[in-house]
Amino acid sequence: MNNHVFIIAEMSANHCGDVKLAKEIIKTAKEIGADAVKLQTYTADTLTIDSDRPEFTVSNPKSLWYGETLYSLYQKAFTPWEWQKELKDYAEKEVGIELFSTPFDKTAVDFLENIGVRRYKIASFEAIDYPLVEYAALKGKPMIISTGISSEEEIRDIVDICRNAGNTDITLLKCTSSYPAPLEDMNVLTIPDMIQKFGVKVGLSDHSMNIEPVVAAVALGAAVIEKHFTLDRALGGADAGFSLNKQEFKEMVQAVRNTEKVLGTVDYSVNTANRFGARSLYVVKDIRQGEVFTEENIRSIRPGCGAHPKHYREILGKRADRDLKRATPFSLDFIQK
């Protein structure tokens, strides 16, 4: 990626069941600087079963989806499969932005292979579905895997599964699987540890309503940023409550690009133009030939046209080999031999 952080605009359910809105999201994502748009490829039946038993119902009162059955939620939120080839063609042929998806079962992987996606994203809650991870990894395309509910041992298993499948293009995403995610739960300091521990690229899948976690992640070495995107939260949709709108996402992209510039490279070179303003040794009183250099007639001052201040102590007590006028940049050649 050549130090270019790959920014993914996650559409998810923010199309609100309207293919025209989905295309507008894609077009706008390109305009505001995203590198790719991501869909999700599932149906309610590939994710769960239709049941109203307590364990199939969102029971957390703080959840955006409190009281919904999983089946009804996924029925409302899914992206129709018949749209996805059309959206991919629109994105890549008309808009000029990559579009890929998260498969939630093997049939979704097969479908996405048929429409020719360039990479796969595995969601946090599917990352522990080892057969699914392996099935996608065997396709030989870059793998981006969220780790929001995975233990350290499970993350190691996931990386090993991909490598054993012959796939070494792996990006793990640090993720907090709360919607929205509280800042104090983000723990982005985990990112450099993941890079060192697992030997792969690492990024951030951010469900907060802020851009600070993204900036911090990039500063800590994140190679990929994934963030939910909507044109307007007022449009609704299952994921609108933790999605950035157009202006917020644009500001996030700019913050990432500015952070990339700030990080730059390891560089100890000196800007010679700025160096002019540094201190150096100057004659500050007229000196006659043979006169001794002292703290009264030689000083370290700005600008930087004279000898380096490191020579100051060795100069003091020696004598001038010529007459020197006040405000003359000092040279070591002025020392009497």
| pLDDT tens per residue across span 212-242 | 999 999 999 999 999 999 998 988 777 788 8
How many helices (H) and strands (E) in the chain?
12, 10
Ramachandran category for residue 3: left, alpha or beta (phi over 0 → left; psi -120 to 50 → alpha): left
**Which regions in the chain score pLDDT beneath 70?**
1-2
Tell me the torsion sign for CA atoms 106, 44, 80, 227: negative
The CA-atom distances, in angstroms, between 135 and each of 85, 125, 158, 249, 272 are 21, 16, 12, 33, 56
Expressed in angstroms, the distance from the first to the final Cα of the chain is 59
Can you tell me whether residue 329 is helix, strand or coil? strand
The CA-atom distances, in angstroms, between 214 and each of 147, 165, 258, 326 are 16, 31, 12, 55
Nearest alpha carbon to residue 331 among 302, 292, 303, 305? 305
What pLDDT is attached to residue 66? 82
> d(Cα 233, Cα 215) in Å, to the nearest integer?
23
Can you tell me whether residue 205 is helix, strand or coil? strand
The one-letter code for the residue type at 100 is F
- What percent of the residues of the chain are helix, what percent strand, and what percent coil, each to the nearest 5? 40, 20, 40
Are 154 and 160 contacting, i.e. CB atoms less than 8 angstroms apart? no
User: What does pTM read for this prediction?
Assistant: 0.88
Tokens 């993941």, residue located: 194
Phi and psi for 21 in degrees, rounded to 5? Answer: -65, -40
Tokens 């070591």, residue located: 332
What pLDDT is attached to residue 1? 41
Cis peptide before 180 (omega within 30 of 0): yes
Residues 6 or more apart whose CB falls under 8 angstroms from that of 31 comprise: none
